[in-house]
Structure 1
Amino acid sequence: MKIISVFSVNRLGKMAIFVVVIGIFSLLLSGAWNYIQDTYQVRADRSNAMQVTRPILSEQVVPVMAPDFFTEYRLERDKIRSERSDLLREIIKNAAAEDTKHQAQETILKMTLEKQREAEMENLIKAKGFTDALVFISDNSVSAVVKTTALTQEEVVQVAEVISRLAGVKPEDITVSAKP
């Protein structure tokens, strides 16, 4: 068994440090070279002369949109309906009385139909030329919020006609408002 002297370990340690330093220096030099190559572009013009120019760095700016009232409300409405639907399904699953199960099933059906009619009315209102619309169906009335700065009397009548026809509600039970 050969014993390595302190002098040779010291020499090996110095050599290892030297190799590591050279490696780090090489990485830094390589990074600097790549940066320089990326910073400058070479372009050829029609005379085949080469010109070195700095590239125009254009950062693509993506505007941050403020949350839209209409989008936020739809998400919140869907969340509430989903929670309510889950609760009703639990009632159906765990209820002992058939009457309770039947009422919960009818409520789920009513919610589903309301959701469908609201979406249909919103789409028809948008088809009238409005950017967006929200419709809220209550027991005896319907409210609509239309995305616009202001509504004319004619526009209110158009929206009310769509709602009245689809929801079967009298025009006096319909509220139409504007929200930019």
Structure 2
Amino acid sequence: MKVISVFSLNKIGKMAVFIVAAGILSLLVSGAWNFTQDMRQVRADRSNAMQVTKPVAPDQVVPAMAPDFFTEYRLERDKIRSERSDLLREAIKNAKTDEAKQQAQEVILKMTLEKQREAEMENLIKAKGFTDALVFVRDNSVSAVVKTTSLTREEVVQVAEVISRIAGVKPEDITVSAKP
């Protein structure tokens, strides 16, 4: 009996470790093989994509749109906020104290409210007849960029009134500029 128990513990333990290690090694080799095969396929697809089989008539060519400042900025702003929000959620998850959790939650709430206010102000400015607008809320000031070639004094006052009402910022802490 003693021989069987010693045999089973030592041999089976070593055998299990060997089997697990062999399985992991085979997975790594298999993954590397699949990756190289996929990369070869991608290279082949790229080379085939460059071949033109039929000439395109000039009237069929659609000009590429130049990137719009307002759209690009919104995308970048959303990306940064998303990254910041992810970091804060991670901080909440790993917080050691309730106070640290509470602070991170407050920052997320502040970011969410700031985003809502910016969107509301941008939409109200567009409702005044402007093509587009971007609003940047900071702690004690707000900046707005309106899509137009120039702004009259009355238009600046209109935009500032919208911002002042929504953001609760004094008119002297508001900057309004034009961007075509």
Partner of 1:44: none
Q: Which runs of 5+ in 2 are unaligned?
A: 1-56
Match status 1:142 vs 2:116: no
Partner of 2:159: 159
Q: Distance in 2 between matches of 1:150 and 1:62?
A: 30
Q: Distance in 2 between matches of 1:154 and 1:58?
A: 46
Once the 2 structures are TM-superposed, how far is the Cα of residue 58 of structure 1 from its aligned partner?
7.3
Letter in 2 for 1:126: K
Q: Distance in 1 between matches of 2:113 and 2:144?
A: 17
Partner of 1:64: 64
Letter in 2 for 1:92: I
Match status 1:95 vs 2:95: yes
Q: Give matches, 1:28-177, under 5 Å.
A: 59-177=59-177
TM-score by length of 2: 0.67
Letter in 1 for 2:83: E
Q: Which runs of 5+ in 1 are unaligned?
A: 1-56
Q: Distance in 2 between matches of 1:109 and 1:58?
A: 52
Letter in 1 for 2:120: E
Q: Distance in 1 between matches of 2:58 and 2:102?
A: 63
Per-residue Cα deviation, 1:77-119 (whole angstroms, up to 9, x for no partner):
0000000000000000001111110000000000000000100
Q: Distance in 2 between matches of 1:94 and 1:171?
A: 41
Letter in 2 for 1:74: R
Letter in 1 for 2:169: V
Q: Distance in 2 between matches of 1:142 and 1:62?
A: 39
SS at match of 2:146: strand
Letter in 1 for 2:71: T
* Percent of matched pairs sharing the same residue: 86
Once the 2 structures are TM-superposed, how far is the Cα of residue 60 of structure 1 from its aligned partner?
2.5
TM-score by length of 1: 0.67
Partner of 1:48: none
Q: Distance in 2 between matches of 1:95 and 1:148?
A: 46
Larger Rg: 1
Once the 2 structures are TM-superposed, how far is the Cα of residue 165 of structure 1 from its aligned partner?
0.3
What is the number of equivalent residue pairs in this alignment?
124
Over the aligned positions, Cα root-mean-square deviation in angstroms equals: 1.0
Partner of 2:52: none
